[in-house]
Each structure stands twice: as structure tokens, then as C-alpha cells.
């Protein structure tokens, strides 16, 4: 079976590609290399430098005829979406529609979509957020991520295109770019290893749910192979960690005594969030194998190399 992975040279996408290759799938990667790196792509995967917004994407589908699509490509920076919501929508919404039209036209069996559990719920009414929590995003990024879930449902209802939307919390791990991508773990780890100052936005009491990238890659495989036709599932650790607490863990792990400085709060970012992941465990038989300490240890080891 053939799987086309969008954003397959990026941080999360390249790990998804690795898992798919290891599981015996024929993998096609498309990426415009705006954030990803070609050296991240598994040597057993076939690579096309292509953009999901481009009309020429049709040529890849015509040649490769994928059975499944793993849609990881996106504009992922919340702050950038606030500064330029048009760019965010063009990439995340219009690019996804372009992709889904091709999935419909070329008979793709299922789409696994990288959504966001950290952004679509907005400031939570209750914690942890489950999948029944009201959808009230407070950033254009959160709006665009959920908009694609609605389009996926439209393509299922109208054309029978099956899908699974995976609502990621804050994903971290090896290959995350501390300069080009949103990712506080990568930024803190890289800065502290290079004896650079870290900036914590606001008081640092804001919380996030940090999930290790290898756990995310594994759940993408399970979602692709599960026979369910429609699903939207939270993917996280199910644990709440403050940014101050995270900084201390990373500082202790890398052996630094450098203090962080506090900057202004960022509008459009939620104050507290962590996810209820029981549905993913029940529906896919998935639960994270890496706790935060184990994941941070592997991540810091990768950055040291």
C-alpha cells in the first residue's frame, strides 16, 4: 500500500515517514522545504519538492496514485498566524482543500490529518479538554486547523472519503528546529546547551501538554490502519506542565545554571491547556510510551549531537 505524506521532510512528518517505512509501506513525500530539511527524509521514501497549494500537485497524484494520505504540512506558528492570517489561511485551509480535491479525484481511501488540540479549544472551560469541549479558537491558526476538520467531514459526507483528525498537543523531540519552528522545548534546549539566554513569555505559569514526537508518529500509523471511517482524537500526554517547570527540567537536564528572563505575554496563546486522551486509547489502543523526563532526555541527547 502506498502512503503520500505531506510535510514529510519536516519535524513531525519525517518521523511519521520513518514509522510508515519501517511498517512496510511504500512512502511518497511531498514538501516545499520552507521549514523541512531534505536530509530528514527517509532514504527509502520517494521525495517530491512540491507545495500543497500548487496546481502541479495533481501530477504527483496522477503518477503515484496513493492509497492513503497523511497530511502533516501546515503553517504551524500561532504567532505568525496572528501577524499574517491570510498567509495562514492560504496554506492551512486552501492548501488542504486542494489536497482533498485530489484525494477525492484519485480515489484515496483515507486521510490522516494533523489537527491541533492545543489551539482549537481556546481557553478551556474545563480541564483536561476532551473531544466534546466547545471549539473556540483564539488564534487564526486554531481557526484554520478546525476549518480543515469541517472540510474533512464534508468530503466524507459527500464523497465517502474516510478520515481521522489527530488533535496534537505540543509536540517536541529530535529534528525540531529551534530557529524556524514553534517549539519551546527545542528553543530552551538549544539555547541552554549554547549558553544563551532563554525568554519566557509572561509569568511562565501558563501550562501546556507536551507529547513526544515518536508517540505522535506511532499514533499516525494506528490511525491509518484502523478501520474506522471518521474520527477526531486528542493526542497528548494527558499531563499539565507549566513553562517555568519545563524550563527547570531542561536546565537541570543539560547541567546549566542560567536563569531565564520574562518577556510580554503573547496574544492569541491560551493560558492553560492539557488534553484528555482516553478516546485515543479506547479507539486506537494508543497511549504515550514516553513521559516528559524520558522524552526530554532523548531530545537533549539529539541536540548535543
- The structural domains of the chain, with segments of one domain joined by +, span 2-172+211-237+276-289, 184-206+240-272+295-304
Mean pLDDT of the chain: 96
Q: How confident is the model at residue 269 (pLDDT cuts 50, 70, 90)?
A: confident
Which residue among 141, 155, 163, 247 is the active-site one? 141
CA separation, residue 17 to residues 43, 44, 46, 132 (Å): 10, 9, 10, 30
> Which superfamily does CATH assign the domain made up of 2-172+211-237+276-289 to?
NAD(P)-binding Rossmann-like Domain (3.40.50.720)
Report the pLDDT value the prediction gives residue 189, as an integer from 0 to 100.
Answer: 97
Q: How confident is the model over 171-194, as a mean pLDDT?
A: 90
Report the pLDDT value the prediction gives residue 83, as an integer from 0 to 100.
Answer: 93
Report the pLDDT value the prediction gives residue 176, as an integer from 0 to 100.
Answer: 95
Report the pLDDT value the prediction gives residue 182, as an integer from 0 to 100.
Answer: 65
Q: Is the pLDDT of residue 40 over 70?
A: yes
Fold designation for 184-206+240-272+295-304: UDP-galactose 4-epimerase; domain 1 (3.90.25)
Q: How confident is the model over 115-137, as a mean pLDDT?
A: 97
Q: How confident is the model over 9-21, as a mean pLDDT?
A: 98
Q: How confident is the model at residue 180 (pLDDT cuts 50, 70, 90)?
A: low
Is 169:231 a contact under the CB 8 Å cutoff? no
Reply yes or no on whether 274 is catalytic.
no
Q: Is the pLDDT of residue 132 over 90?
A: yes
Q: Is the pLDDT of residue 179 over 90?
A: no
Report the pLDDT value the prediction gives residue 1, as an integer from 0 to 100.
Answer: 95
Is 117:261 a contact under the CB 8 Å cutoff? no
Q: Is the pLDDT of residue 181 over 60?
A: no
Report the pLDDT value the prediction gives residue 207, as an integer from 0 to 100.
Answer: 96
Segment among 84-98, 143-157, 205-219, 266-280 with least mean pLDDT: 266-280
Question: Residue 27: beta bridge partners?
Answer: 3
Q: How confident is the model over 96-123, as a mean pLDDT?
A: 97
HEC string of the chain equals: CEEEEECCCCHHHHHHHHHHHHCCCEEEEEECCCCCCHHHCCCCCEEEECCCCCCCHHHHHHHHCCCEEEECCCCCCHHHHHHCHHHHHHHHHHHHHHHHHHHHHCCCCEEEEEEECCCCCCCCCCCCECCCCCCCCCCHHHHHHHHHHHHHHHHHHHHCCEEEEEEECEEECCCCCCCCCCCHHHHHHHHHHCCCCCEEECCCCCEECEEEHHHHHHHHHHHHHCCCCEEEEEECCCCCEEHHHHHHHHHHHHCCCCCCEEECCCCCCCCCCCECCHHHHHHHCCCCCCCHHHHHHHHHHHHHC
Amino acid at each position: 500500500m502506498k502512503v503520500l505524506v505531506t510535510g514529510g521532510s519536516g519535524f513531525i512528518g519525517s518521523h511519521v515517514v520513518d514509522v510508515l517505512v519501517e511498517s512496510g509501506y511504500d512512502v511518497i513525500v511531498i514538501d516545499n522545504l520552507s521549514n523541512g530539511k531534505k536530509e530528514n527524509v527517509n532514504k527509502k521514501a520517494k521525495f517530491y519538492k512540491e507545495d500543497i497549494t500548487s496546481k502541479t500537485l495533481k501530477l504527483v497524484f496522477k503518477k503515484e496514485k496513493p492509497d492513503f494520505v497523511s497530511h502533516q504540512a501546515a503553517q504551524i506558528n500561532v504567532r505568525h498566524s496572528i501577524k499574517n492570517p491570510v498567509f495562514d489561511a492560504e496554506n492551512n485551509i486552501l492548501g488542504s482543500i486542494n489536497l482533498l480535491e485530489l484525494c477525492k479525484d484519485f480515489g484515496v481511501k483515507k486521510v490522516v490529518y494533523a489537527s491541533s488540540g492545543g489551539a482549537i479549544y481556546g481557553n478551556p472551560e474545563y480541564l483536561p479538554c476532551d473531544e466534546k469541549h466547545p471549539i473556540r479558537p483564539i488564534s487564526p491558526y486554531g481557526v484554520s486547523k478546525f476549518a480543515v476538520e469541517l472540510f474533512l467531514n464534508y468530503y466524507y459526507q459527500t464523497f465517502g472519503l474516510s478520515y481521522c483528525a489527530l488533535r496534537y498537543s505540543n509536540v517536541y523531540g529530535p529534528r525540531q528546529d529551534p530557529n524556524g519552528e514553534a517549539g519551546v522545548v527545542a528553543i530552551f534546549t538549544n539555547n541552554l546547551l549554547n549558553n544563551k539566554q532563554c525568554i519566557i513569555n509572561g509569568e511562565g505559569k501558563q501550562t501546556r501538554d507536551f507529547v513526544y514526537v515518536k508517540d505522535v508518529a506511532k499514533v499516525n500509523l494506528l490511525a491509518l490502519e484502523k478501520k474506522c471511517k471518521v474520527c477526531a482524537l486528542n493526542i497528548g500526554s494527558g499531563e499539565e506542565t507549566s513553562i517555568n517547570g519545563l524550563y527547570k527540567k531542561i536546565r537541570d537536564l543539560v547541567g546549566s545554571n542560567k536563569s531565564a528572563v520574562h518577556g510580554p505575554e503573547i496574544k492569541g496563546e491560551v493560558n492553560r491547556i492539557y488534553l484528555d486522551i482516553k478516546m485515543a486509547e479506547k479507539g486506537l489502543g494508543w497511549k504515550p510510551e514516553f513521559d516528559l523526563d524520558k522524552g526530554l532526555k532523548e531530545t537533549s541527547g539529539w541536540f548535543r549531537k
